[in-house]
């Protein structure tokens, strides 16, 4: 597969996460990939971050614990207001490379139906498999997808829970390869924990998922929160890496959606509407 | 109580957890944040293992590093059946050691490719994959003829040994490093059998033989 | 790329019990698995839902279950039988994994992608299959390079890759896995000790492989054959509702057997191809020789997909349906039947299931019990029968062990009492399924309601509506979508008026029992006379069974 395919304008002109800030040590240059292109970055001794594709300096943004850059001309990055709330723990749980397109990764993140099968005993348990009706809509003039009133039975919904319950989720997709989910906080009934998956498309059929949490938890250590998140993502990996094709098919007749997949259906339509070709298989015209 | 310096996503730690589970031993898991924290290189852990490698097992006054050394110890000390590490038969003992060495090779190849692709380690993934395929070739051929001889396992004819547990993790996790098992049908059947060993447990990246268990 | 022949894609020994083999032919990935009944399935290696390889799924011995969301696909017909995310819905029968024909001979599994079956491969009797050897080289090149090589004791391989020598005869085949990938397979016949011979030939193939790979390295590797999966049907793409077509299937009565007093079991086999998938609780329409259409529930267990099994009781005041089957139908006869439809869906996201059967009403519950047992879910089947000799399908019942409770020869009072006991404590994650004669169903429903079971947890199927239908009213119906107005006079059903106008929904039992002819009511008050809708649904008033129900208001607006 040609890893140097040119991204479409919608994908090109986005901010992308390329590293977790905590891993960047002053004076130690590092490199990664975006759209198959080698990108180097460094925090100089003066503390400033520099990103380059080898021929030019690229835009830099430090946000949500990550370093973001772009190969195009990006607008403002989407807002995750919770990240700024003073009583929250913000944790970068890790950045993991996966052998599948970023959009497949996002779609899996939006999916509740797999919990009892893939995250058995943690985010779901047999025989509780039903995905109840929920709402999906487009907000902010079509710039974001939001799914609300998503309920799912969970035997151990987070690092601090000890018993099973129906847990409520909200999913946001404000970016073609980033999503934020909110779930009832076990510490404070009235507030929601935020868990984000920021996707860095390293190629058309590979991505790095940067996992960032903003949660109400004064019990667990960062190590343990990261352990839990990596455990969950590690369970998704063998599924993602066994999806065929590796790019997300946008033809509505390529796969078989059910009602539980309403968010995924809207996500695929939204990508189609924006002419996304990178990391996807567009429907034949 | 037995204490295991452990990392959830490490195949070498997992093989020790596998045997501990199969033998029904209680143990304390001491999580060392290998990734993303790289705590195995921190002074605190280097005091436990100067090589900076996981796993390490502590049992009473004994502290052991190296997953295969740990498997040998646990099986010799706690397996009443004497099957997981049978010491009575010189040839069998040699064979077990031979496959433990191949398992070590899997750490250097299949596991290295996985760390490079998944956790951005600075390894040559392509070379690692090549090496992994060579080892898979040897293992598949061995297992195919073992089946013909009527044995389901790598070494002993009638039951699994620590050689099976040692080879299993990085075979099973190989796809994360871009190493497909499609061309190794005998390996694929054997991994199904390992998953059906009583007391078997999973780790992220490995599904159980039965749904949702 | 290859002449029209069957191609070997696996060794028989590759298909271990409850294992799924991962194969490839001309760039197409295959999931190959053997069911407990011995049938070998060659399928596209891709779950139709979200594209996950089925080769990482679970072979239960009767079904293949996808690892991602647990969709289940049946042995043989590859139809999806269960979608766990929507446990109350029957999956559309058209969700079917792609399958290819299969034969098993010479210790190898063969398939092909042609429109019609090519001639069978000519193979000598007996022999042993070699260890297959995959290699990254173009299949034509592998074939050319093998021809002429002479494995010790067999002499040189000819054009067709066959060799004969003092050691015996050898037949190699090259499976074109992809443009640049091949698998060498073979069968050997010899008097030599088998294992040593297989080892020797394995060494021969290994060195042949190394030579071929060295040669292949000189030319650029060919591009893999692009993956072009078939598109799913249009209605599935948009979807989720199930559509019932008028499709008529032809089956043959393979077996007719008396399984209890006045009850015969029929085993119906397809004339050709595989039968469509069915789910626990499904029924088929059977067109009888005397022109009648009757519904019978399938008794089939999961994976029992080679034939449909139904149970037919001789009804004393039979309008001719059961009598025709009992008296005039013989083994070998042909029957026209519908595809299975399911109005009695079994949820499997529950912690406890109570099945209540009355008489021949046991048939759908047998199918459910087998499915629950397969899934390892807790359940109990309470079976009410008039006498010992009226207990049908003894073998299937016996397989349920202590999960079966029989109640023999109870009078209505004692039956009611027993039902009270069975339904005494509604549990939050429990469901009840009832099938039997109308009076017993009525009692069961009333008892359940009294005990506090929510309507939605009690599922029932009347196998006939024995209530008297009152057809004395006359009213007008307006069809919102077709923009027509029709009069329904006394004595005629809405359905028959619709049929005359050519806008009728599909129908089946015509007695208000099966739910096929349901229409949505936009305005007006229905006069429900069916036994299909629940009390809550009847009270909501937004659905009507057009075959028996009528209007209390002088007009009804229907969504047709
Ligand atoms: N031979 C050792 C190898 C262990 C090993 O490679 N451990 C990895 C984690 S899976 C590790 O700690 N690597 C750090 C390093 O080698 O520096 C064993 O089998 O225990
Ligand atoms: S992808 Fe197979 S069940 Fe969803
Ligand atoms: Fe997941």
Tens-digit pLDDT profile for residues C96-114: 999 999 999 999 999 999 9
Looking at all shown ligands, the one closest to residue B50's CA atom is: 1
Phi (first) and psi of residue A165, to 5 degrees: -165, 160
pLDDT value, residue A285? 66
pLDDT tens track for B106-145: 999 999 999 999 999 999 999 999 999 999 999 999 999 9
Same domain? For C363 and C444 the reply is yes
Q: Is residue A137 one of the residues assigned to a domain? A: yes
Look at C56 and A238 and tell me if their CB atoms are within 8 Å: yes
**Residues in chain A within 8 Å Cβ distance of C46:** 244
Neighbour order of strands in the sheet with A49-52 = A30-34, A37-43, A49-52, A57-58
Top-ranked range on mean pLDDT: pick from A184-198, C8-22, C289-303, C308-322: C8-22
Of A94, A224, A238, the CB nearest to B35: A94
Domain that holds residue C440: 352-462
pLDDT tens track for C62-84: 999 999 999 999 999 999 999 99
Q: Whose CA is nearest to atom 4 of ligand 2?
A: C69
Cβ atoms of residues A263 and A133 within 8 Å: no
Q: How far is the CA of A2 from the centre of ligand 3 (A)?
A: 28
Q: Going residue by residue through chain A (285 aa), what tens digit of pLDDT does each one get?
A: 444 789 999 999 999 999 999 999 999 999 999 999 999 999 998 989 999 999 999 999 999 999 999 999 999 999 999 999 999 999 999 999 999 999 999 999 999 999 999 999 999 999 899 999 999 999 999 999 999 999 999 987 556 666 677 889 999 999 999 999 999 887 887 899 999 999 999 999 999 999 999 999 888 888 899 999 999 999 999 999 999 999 999 999 999 999 999 999 999 999 999 999 999 999 986
| Residue C3: band (very low, low, confident or very high) from pLDDT cuts 50, 70, 90 | low
**DSSP annotation of C273:** S
- Ligand 2 probe mutation, C69, C78, C80, C82, most atoms within 8 A of CB: C69
Same domain? For C79 and C108 the reply is yes
**Residues in chain B within 8 Å Cβ distance of C11:** 185
User: What residues flank ligand 2, with Cβ below 6 Å?
Assistant: C 47, 49-50, 52, 66, 68-69, 71
Number of domains in chain C: 4
pLDDT tens track for C26-61: 999 999 999 999 999 999 999 999 999 999 999 999
The two tokens of residue C47 are 């779950």
Same domain? For C406 and C481 the reply is no
Q: What is the ipTM of this complex?
A: 0.96
The two tokens of residue C136 are 């990254």
Same domain? For C202 and C73 the reply is yes
How many C-alpha atoms does C253 have within 13 Å on its Cβ side? 22
Q: Is residue C167 one of the residues assigned to a domain? A: no
Cβ atoms of residues B208 and B195 within 8 Å: yes
pLDDT tens track for B48-67: 999 999 999 999 999 999 99
Distances, alpha carbon C166 to alpha carbons A247, C122, C162, C171, C207, in Å = 54, 22, 14, 15, 22
Same domain? For C109 and C203 the reply is yes
Same domain? For C277 and C400 the reply is no
**Residues in chain B within 8 Å Cβ distance of C64:** none
Residues found in chain C: 560
Looking at all shown ligands, the one closest to residue C55's CA atom is: 2
Domain that holds residue A226: 9-279
Cβ atoms of residues B55 and B5 within 8 Å: yes
Q: By the CB < 8 Å criterion, does A1 face chain C? A: no
Same domain? For C289 and C381 the reply is no
The answer regarding whether domain B90-195 maps to CATH 3.40.50.300 reads no
The answer regarding whether domain B2-78 maps to CATH 3.40.30.10 reads yes
Same domain? For C454 and C484 the reply is no
Percent of chain B with pLDDT over 90: 97
The CATH number that applies at residue C537 is 3.10.20.30
Look at A243 and C234 and tell me if their CB atoms are within 8 Å: no
pLDDT value, residue C247? 40
> What's the helix, strand, coil split of chain B in %, to 5?
50, 10, 40
Cβ atoms of residues C300 and C281 within 8 Å: no
Q: Is residue C180 one of the residues assigned to a domain? A: no
Q: What is the dihedral of CA C174, C177, C181, C187, to 10 degrees?
A: -30
Q: Whose CA is nearest to atom 10 of ligand 1?
A: B10
Looking at all shown ligands, the one closest to residue A98's CA atom is: 3
Residue whose tokens read 């297959």: C132
Q: Number of CB pairs < 8 Å for A and C?
A: 100
Distances, alpha carbon A173 to alpha carbons A141, A210, A239, C9, C73, in Å = 13, 15, 21, 43, 32
- Ligand 1 probe mutation, B107, B123, B168, B169, most atoms within 8 A of CB: B107
Q: Which atom of ligand 1 is nearest to the CA of B41?
A: 17
Same domain? For C101 and C51 the reply is yes
Q: Is residue C312 one of the residues assigned to a domain? A: yes
Q: Whose CA is nearest to atom 1 of ligand 2?
A: C50
Distance CA C560, CA C546 (A): 11
pLDDT surpassing 80 at residue C2: no
pLDDT tens track for C151-167: 999 999 999 999 999 99
Looking at residues B19-42, what average pLDDT do you find?
96
The CATH number that applies at residue A182 is 3.90.380.10
Number of domains in chain A: 1
Q: How far is the CA of B10 from the centre of ligand 3 (A)?
A: 20
pLDDT tens track for B65-98: 999 999 999 999 999 999 999 999 999 999 999 9
Q: Least CA distance to C15: which residue of chain B?
A: B189
pTM of the model: 0.85
Bond before B156 cis per omega within 30 degrees: no
Q: Is residue A3 one of the residues assigned to a domain? A: no
């Amino acid at each position: 597969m040609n890893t140097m395919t040119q991204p479409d304008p919608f994908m090109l002109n986005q901010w992308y996460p390329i590293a977790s800030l905590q891993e960047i040590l002053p004076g130690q240059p590092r490199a990664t990939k975006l759209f198959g292109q080698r990108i180097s970055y460094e925090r100089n001794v003066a503390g400033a971050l520099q990103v380059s594709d080898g021929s030019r300096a690229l835009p830099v943004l430090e946000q949500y614990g990550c370093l973001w850059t772009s190969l195009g001309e990006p607008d403002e990055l989407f807002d995750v207001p919770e990240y700024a709330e003073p009583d929250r723990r913000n944790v970068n749980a890790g950045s993991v490379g996966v052998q599948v397109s970023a959009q497949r990764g996002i779609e899996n993140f939006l999916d509740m139906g797999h919990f009892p099968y893939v995250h058995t005993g943690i985010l779901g348990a047999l025989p509780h498999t039903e995905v109840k009706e929920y709402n999906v809509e487009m907000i902010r003039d079509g710039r974001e997808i939001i799914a609300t009133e998503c309920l799912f039975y969970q035997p151990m919904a987070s690092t601090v829970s000890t018993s099973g319950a129906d847990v409520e989720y909200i999913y946001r997709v404000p970016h073609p390869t980033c999503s934020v989910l909110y779930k009832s906080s076990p510490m404070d009934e009235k507030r929601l924990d935020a868990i984000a998956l920021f996707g860095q498309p390293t190629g058309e059929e590979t991505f790095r998922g940067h996992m960032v949490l903003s949660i109400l938890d004064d019990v667990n250590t960062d190590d343990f929160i990261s352990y839990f998140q990596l455990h969950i993502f590690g369970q998704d990996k063998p599924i993602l890496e066994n999806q065929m094709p590796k790019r997300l098919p946008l033809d509505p007749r390529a796969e078989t959606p059910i009602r539980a997949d309403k968010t995924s259906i809207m996500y695929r339509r939204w990508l189609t509407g924006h002419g996304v070709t990178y990391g996807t298989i567009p429907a034949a015209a | 109580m037995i204490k295991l310096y452990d990392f959830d996503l490490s195949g070498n730690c997992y093989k020790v957890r596998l045997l501990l589970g199969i033998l029904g031993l209680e143990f304390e898991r001491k999580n060392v944040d290998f990734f993303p924290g790289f705590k195995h290189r921190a002074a605190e852990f280097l005091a436990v293992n100067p090589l900076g490698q996981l796993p390490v097992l502590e049992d009473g006054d004994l502290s052991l590093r190296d997953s295969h050394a740990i498997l040998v110890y646990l099986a010799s000390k706690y397996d009443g059946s004497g099957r997981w590490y049978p010491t009575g038969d010189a040839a069998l003992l040699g064979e077990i050691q031979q496959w433990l060495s191949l398992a070590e090779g899997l750490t250097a190849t299949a596991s290295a490719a996985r760390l490079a692709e998944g956790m951005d380690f600075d390894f040559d993934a392509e070379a690692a994959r090549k090496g992994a395929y060579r080892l898979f070739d040897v293992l598949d051929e061995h297992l195919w003829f073992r089946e013909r001889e009527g044995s389901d396992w790598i070494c002993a004819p009638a039951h699994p040994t620590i050689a099976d547990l040692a080879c299993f993790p990085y075979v099973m996790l190989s796809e994360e490093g871009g190493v497909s098992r499609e061309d190794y049908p005998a390996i694929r059947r054997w991994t199904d059998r390992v998953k059906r060993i009583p007391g078997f447990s999973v780790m992220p990246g490995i599904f159980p033989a039965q749904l949702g268990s | 790329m290859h002449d029209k022949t069957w191609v070997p894609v696996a060794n028989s020994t590759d298909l271990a019990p409850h294992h799924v083999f991962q194969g490839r032919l001309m760039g197409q990935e295959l999931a190959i698995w053997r069911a407990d009944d011995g049938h070998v399935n060659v399928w596209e290696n891709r779950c139709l839902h979200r594209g996950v390889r089925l080769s990482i799924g679970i072979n239960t011995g009767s079904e293949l279950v996808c690892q991602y969301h647990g969709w289940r696909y049946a042995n043989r017909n590859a139809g999806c039988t269960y979608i766990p995310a929507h446990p109350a819905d029957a999956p559309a029968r058209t969700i079917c994994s792609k399958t290819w024909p299969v034969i098993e001979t010479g210790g190898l599994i063969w398939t092909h992608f042609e429109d019609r079956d090519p001639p069978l491969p000519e193979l000598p009797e007996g022999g042993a299959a070699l260890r297959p050897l995959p290699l990254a080289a173009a299949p034509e090149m592998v074939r050319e390079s093998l021809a002429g090589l002479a494995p010790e004791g067999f002499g040189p391989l000819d054009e067709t890759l066959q060799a004969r020598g003092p050691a015996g005869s050898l037949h190699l085949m090259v499976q074109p896995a992809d443009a640049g990938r091949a698998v060498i397979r073979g069968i050997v016949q010899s008097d030599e000790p088998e294992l040593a011979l297989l080892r020797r030939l394995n060494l021969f193939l290994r060195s042949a492989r190394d030579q071929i790979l060295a040669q292949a390295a000189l030319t650029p590797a060919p591009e893999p054959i692009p993956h072009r999966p078939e598109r799913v049907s249009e209605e599935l793409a948009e979807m989720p509702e199930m559509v019932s077509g008028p499709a008529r299937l032809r089956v043959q009565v393979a077996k007719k057997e008396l399984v209890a007093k006045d009850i015969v079991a029929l085993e119906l086999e397809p004339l050709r191809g595989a039968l469509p998938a069915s789910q626990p609780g499904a029924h088929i329409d059977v067109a009888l020789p005397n022109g009648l259409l009757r519904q019978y529930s399938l008794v089939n267990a999961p994976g029992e997909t080679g034939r449909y099994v139904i149970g037919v009781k001789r009804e004393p005041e039979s309008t001719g349906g059961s009598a025709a089957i009992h008296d005039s139908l013989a083994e070998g006869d042909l029957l026209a039947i519908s595809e299975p439809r399911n109005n009695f869906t079994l949820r499997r996201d529950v912690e406890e299931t109570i099945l209540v059967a009355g008489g021949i009403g046991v048939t759908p519950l047998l199918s459910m019990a087998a499915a629950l047992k397969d899934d390892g879910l807790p359940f109990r089947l309470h079976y009410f029968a008039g006498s010992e000799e009226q207990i049908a399908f003894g073998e299937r019942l016996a397989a349920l062990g202590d999960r079966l409770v029989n109640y023999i020869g109870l009078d209505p009072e004692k039956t009611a009492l027993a039902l009270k006991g069975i339904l005494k404590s509604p549990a939050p994650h429990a469901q009840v399924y009832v099938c039997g004669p109308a009076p017993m169903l009525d009692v069961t429903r009333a008892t359940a309601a009294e005990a506090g079971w929510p309507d939605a947890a009690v599922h029932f199927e009347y196998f006939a509506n024995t209530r008297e239908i009152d057809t004395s009213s006359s009213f007008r119906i307006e069809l919102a979508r077709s923009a027509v107005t029709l009069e329904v006079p006394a004595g005629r059903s809405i359905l028959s008026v619709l049929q005359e106008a050519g806008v009728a929904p599909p129908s089946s039992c015509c007695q208000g029992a099966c739910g096929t002819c349901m229409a949505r009511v936009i305005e007006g008050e229905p006069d429900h006379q069916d036994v299909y809708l629940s009390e809550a649904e009847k009270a909501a008033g937004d659905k009507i069974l057009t075959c028996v129900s009528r209007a209390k208001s002088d007009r009804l607006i229907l969504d047709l």
